[in-house]
Amino acid sequence: MIDIINENLFHLTTSETSYVFTVGNNGELLHLYYGQKIDVSANGRNALIQKWSHGNACSVVSDDSRHMLCPDDEKWEMGFMGKGDLRSPAAEVIWKNGGTTAEFVFESYEIMDISEVCDAFKKASLPHSYDEEGGKGKALKITLKEKTECAKLILYYCVYDDCDVITRSSEIVNCGQATIKINNLASLQLDMDADVIKVTSFHGDWAREMEKCDVLLTGGKFVNESRGGNSSNHSNPFVMYAEPGATESAGEVYATNLVYSGNHRESAEFGGHAKCRILTGIDPDFLSWPLKKGESFLSPEGVLSFSDKGYRGISRNEHKFVREHIVRGEWKYKERPILLNSWEAAYFKISEGKLLKLAKEAADCGMELFVMDDGWFGKRDDDKSSLGDWYDNKEKLPNGIKGLSEKIKALGLMFGIWVEPEMVNADSDLYRTHPDWAVKDPDRDHAEGRDQMILDFSKREVREYIISQMSDVFERSNCDYVKWDMNRNFSDFFSQGGKAEDQGKLPHAYILGLYEVMEALTQKFPHILFEGCASGGNRFDLGILSYFPQIWASDDTDAVARCTIQNGYSYGYPQSTWSAHISASPNHQTLRRTPLATRFAVASMGVFGYELNLCDLPSEEIKEIKEEVEIYKKWRKILQFGDFYRLGGRVTQESFDRYSGGFLSARLDTTLTRNIIVSKDKSEAMGYIVNAEIHPNYSHTSFRTVGLDDEKLYHFCNREVKYDIRRMGDLVNMLSPIHIKQDGVLHNLVARFKKLDGETEDYVARGSLLNNAGVNLTQTFAGSGFGENTRLYADFEARMYEICEIREDPLEESADDQKK
Ligand code: DGJ
């Protein structure tokens, strides 16, 4: 809801939050409050506004009519250069005379439908959030005008009541005759009263995305930025800012994100006055945008959320926002198929025969989609050639992608294909024909990444060419799924043939060009399920998710490493957006051996698939895979679209935060990963525990749920586990009547026919018990004792717990029986 009181107090409310700002005495836009919902009626403005009776000793005070207001000690909706606000500005414009001082003051406001703001984004070729029901959601447009220069600043606020999110964006319009230059334009600024803040951001690299990092900031500035041209695996644009004592389930947490896929910067900065300024937007180091007469520049959309229910509350908001207001199209809520991807099964060594064998196995196991990854086009036998040459490699695929796709579909599977449309190899016909299409400074040696260059998507002819090439590939292969890869960071930012003064546009212009191509192709092929990928998670952001409903979360498919990566994503992105595959053991990235059941548990928390050579697996593993596929199909809707909650590790996030103030919690949290996914109606849930490291004689672990209905009665049971007897090593002799030599012939023979039964967890209990006390699980094996209800729980073991509502109440029945 948007309330405007006395024409100068703006109160934006969502279901649980309030966002308040006002016009100051000189037209300045002052921020007053963002947090838990408040009532600003009566004399709310006077109570909230900062009081000034004299200037601060060292501060700039521009004139008395400002009531001694010191810009550096105020909360602003947007901070500018040159008038005494010494913190980082939200906007930096270079005027005709070279000056950068700016004073934008209030001119007008307008309440509009969110769909009208969407139109502004569409015009600028930027992705954006949306409200399904068109006119329902409301937005506020504030227009400010520069006091001296002929320019306007427009601020957009979209209010999403259902998920406690407010999005913001800013637009500068050049109304004068001369060209001006935008060097910085933040999407959102949030100034708040605080003297300490805990910043949580997500960092990493290839195969190590989304490691959660916490910092306590009491002064100075924290910066989270990506400079490689993508939203990056180094620093994801999703950042949380919390009161230091905030825990998973309690405390005030703010979060920002950006609907953008290029270089971005998030910062939290204390000036000298116990106020923290949060900024989010395009990284100003990569923006230098000349704006001619009449032109405007719109920032990407910034996303703001608040919860007083800790990190869990923020995640709930973010998940809902992404599901409802970012992901769109036919696949928004459509259950995603179980796939087999050829990459880790065969890498570049593919052929029609090999792929068909794999696909046949996949079909026999009940999978639904076969994806041919890299290696099918040009002369592509490794990563050194052929990107750009999107024609069939007839040596590998004598019948082309068309013939292969027909054969795959004849097996009853959908067909998916890998492409990397933004790239070109020097060894390609495309580069030989159009060397000037690469992002490359012709006066320098070019730095390559994975032996490839980036196509200059800021050029219209390049975009048109790629749209036509991709259309041809998608039509020829009649594909149902596309994996859209992007495997390098930018270097040598230079648009060949472009003017010197326009070169600063390239990083952003590239991203706008990319969005134009993605928009064209997703509109043209609405039924295709697109999956984003950038060497895994090097471009996992809300910009990509506005076109593609899911993204390959990481090239690291190791189940244990994935727990950290996936839980990292889970803070800001729902599980329906991160895809996760079961791969071989030992794992190809870590060489770690993990049980198939563990790989299933971890992969089934995301959009599930397989990526291994099924043809080489022993029959018992194929049997297990068939069971997994069945389980996943049965639970798919809940697992993909239910409510995902982190339950904390052994040293839980909560307890650790309490003792340590929140430092280094990520590492401890990985010891044991406990999560749960609950159906929307709370009638069913799947619980998970993954053990990264055994700690002897921590024999008793409980599983305490979140999100179940306190009143409902549930059946709680574990997925059945069977152990290979060889897991016990020579301890087998403690059970065997005859001596068995470890790893000897007899040991292997017994292992083929005798499996050890795992523990049974089987309880009936109310939601209130499960939510508040939790189930005490069976005792773990700890060097002594082993019986039928001992939980063998070595390194890398996992358990899945099915929790289902019992509609007939057996407690009542037995009570009735007793009465009789
Ligand atoms: C990087 C991706 O992340 C992998 O999954 C795979 O598709 C390769 N590229 C193919 O080159």
Residues 384-401: tens digit of each pLDDT: 999 999 999 999 999 999
193, 274 in Cβ contact below 8 A?
Answer: yes
Residues 430-483: tens digit of each pLDDT: 999 999 999 999 999 999 899 999 999 999 999 999 999 999 999 999 999 999
817: pLDDT strictly greater than 80: no
Closest ligand 1 atom, CA of 611? 5
* 258-279 average pLDDT score: 97
What's the CA-to-centroid distance between 460 and ligand 1, angstroms? 27
Nearest protein Cα to ligand 1, atom 6: 343
772, 702 in Cβ contact below 8 A?
Answer: no
pLDDT number for residue 448: 87
Nearest protein Cα to ligand 1, atom 2: 535
Q: Which phi and psi (to 5°) does residue 664 adopt? A: 55, 30
Give the β-pairing of 775-776 and 702-703: antiparallel
pLDDT number for residue 135: 53
Residues 229-252: tens digit of each pLDDT: 999 999 999 999 999 989 999 999
542: pLDDT strictly greater than 70: yes
Angle, CA 658 vertex, CA 657 and CA 664 arms, to 5°:
25
What does the H/E/C string look like for 360-381?
HHHHHCCCCEEEECCCCECCCC
* Type and span of the H or E element at 94: strand 91-94
Separation CA 441–CA 793 (nearest Å): 56
What's the CA-to-centroid distance between 555 and ligand 1, angstroms? 7
513, 457 in Cβ contact below 8 A?
Answer: yes
214, 662 in Cβ contact below 8 A?
Answer: yes
If you search the block for the tokens 């727990």, which residue do you land on?
563
Ligand 1, pocket-test mutation among 377, 452, 485, most atoms within 8 A of CB: 485
Burial (CB < 10 A; 0-12, 13-18, 19+), residue 168, is: buried
31, 49 in Cβ contact below 8 A?
Answer: no
601, 582 in Cβ contact below 8 A?
Answer: no
364: pLDDT strictly greater than 50: yes
Residues 138-152: tens digit of each pLDDT: 999 999 999 999 999
* 801-812 average pLDDT score: 82
Separation CA 795–CA 787 (nearest Å): 19
Query: Which pLDDT band, with edges at 50, 70 and 90, does 663 fall under?
Result: very low
The secondary structure of 636-673 as a DSSP string is HHHHHHSEEEE---SS-HHHHHHHHTTTTHHHHHTTEE
* 261-266 average pLDDT score: 98
Q: Which residues pair with 363 in a beta bridge?
A: none
**Residue 336: closest CA among 696, 577, 556:** 577
Residues 31-40: tens digit of each pLDDT: 999 999 999 9
Nearest protein Cα to ligand 1, atom 1: 535
pLDDT number for residue 667: 42
Amino acid, res. 777: L
Burial (CB < 10 A; 0-12, 13-18, 19+), residue 52, is: middle
Query: Which pLDDT band, with edges at 50, 70 and 90, does 179 fall under?
Result: very high
- 752 or 346: which carries more pLDDT confidence? 346
What's the CA-to-centroid distance between 164 and ligand 1, angstroms? 36
277: pLDDT strictly greater than 60: yes
818: pLDDT strictly greater than 80: no
Amino acid, res. 779: Q
- 52, two tokens: 């000034």
The secondary structure of 198-226 as a DSSP string is EEEEEE--TT---EEEEEEESSSEEEEE-
Separation CA 261–CA 512 (nearest Å): 9
Ligand 1, pocket-test mutation among 343, 348, 488, most atoms within 8 A of CB: 343
Q: Phi/psi zone of residue 199: left (φ > 0), alpha (ψ -120 to 50 degrees), beta?
A: beta
- Angle of helix 596-603 versus helix 619-641 axis, rounded to 10: 20
pLDDT number for residue 819: 54
Residues 288-329: tens digit of each pLDDT: 999 999 999 999 999 999 999 999 999 999 999 999 999 999
426: pLDDT strictly greater than 70: yes
Residues 712-750: tens digit of each pLDDT: 999 999 999 888 888 889 998 887 889 999 999 999 999
* 513-525 average pLDDT score: 98
**Residue 582: closest CA among 558, 553, 615:** 558
Radius of gyration of the chain (CA): 29
What's the CA-to-centroid distance between 386 and ligand 1, angstroms? 15
For the ranges 189-198, 260-269, 688-697, 802-811, the lowest mean pLDDT is seen at: 802-811
**Residue 525: closest CA among 483, 475, 579, 485:** 475
What's the CA-to-centroid distance between 374 and ligand 1, angstroms? 7
pLDDT number for residue 660: 53
Full-prediction pTM beyond 0.85? Answer: yes
Amino acid, res. 132: E
583 lines ligand 1 (CB under 6 A): no
Q: Which long-range contacts (CB under 8 A, 24 or more apart) does 648-653 make?
A: 648/248, 648/674, 649/673, 649/674, 650/695, 650/698, 650/701, 652/248, 653/247, 653/248, 653/311
Percentage of the chain modeled with pLDDT above 70: 95
Q: Within its chain, how far is the Cα of 226 from the centroid?
A: 15
Separation CA 595–CA 585 (nearest Å): 8
- 711-722: burial string, b at 16+ Cβ within 10 Å, e else: ebbbebbbbebe
From the candidates 191, 485, 541, 558, give the one annotated as an active-site residue: 485
pLDDT number for residue 756: 86
Separation CA 152–CA 91 (nearest Å): 12
Question: Cβ contacts of residue 347 below 8 Å, gap of 6+?
Answer: 374, 375
Question: Taking the CB of residue 228, how many other CB atoms lie within 10 A of it?
Answer: 20
313 lines ligand 1 (CB under 6 A): no
pLDDT number for residue 668: 44
Q: In 711-780, where do the E strands start and end?
A: 713-718, 722-724, 755-757, 762-766, 775-776
Percentage of the chain modeled with pLDDT above 90: 85
CA torsion through residues 78, 18, 9, 138, sign? positive
Amino acid, res. 343: W
* Type and span of the H or E element at 144: strand 138-146
Question: Taking the CB of residue 45, how many other CB atoms lie within 10 A of it?
Answer: 17
pLDDT number for residue 31: 98
640, 605 in Cβ contact below 8 A?
Answer: no
552 lines ligand 1 (CB under 6 A): yes
pLDDT number for residue 665: 43
485 is catalytic: yes
From the candidates 374, 456, 541, 555, give the one annotated as an active-site residue: 555
- 530-550: burial string, b at 16+ Cβ within 10 Å, e else: bbbbbbbbbbbbbbbbbbbbb
pLDDT number for residue 700: 86
418 lines ligand 1 (CB under 6 A): yes
- 506-523: burial string, b at 16+ Cβ within 10 Å, e else: bbbbbbbbbbbbbbbbbe
Burial (CB < 10 A; 0-12, 13-18, 19+), residue 727, is: middle
What's the CA-to-centroid distance between 192 and ligand 1, angstroms? 42
Question: Cβ contacts of residue 64 below 8 Å, gap of 6+?
Answer: none
Q: In 729-771, where do the E strands start and end?
A: 755-757, 762-766
- 308-338: burial string, b at 16+ Cβ within 10 Å, e else: bbbbbbbbbbbbbbbbbbbbbbebeeeebbb
85 is catalytic: no
**Residue 338: closest CA among 622, 532, 628:** 628
DSSP class of residue 700 equals -
Separation CA 280–CA 168 (nearest Å): 10
556 lines ligand 1 (CB under 6 A): no
Question: Cβ contacts of residue 243 below 8 Å, gap of 6+?
Answer: 194, 197, 198, 251, 252, 253
Residues 54-83: tens digit of each pLDDT: 888 788 876 656 566 889 999 999 999 999
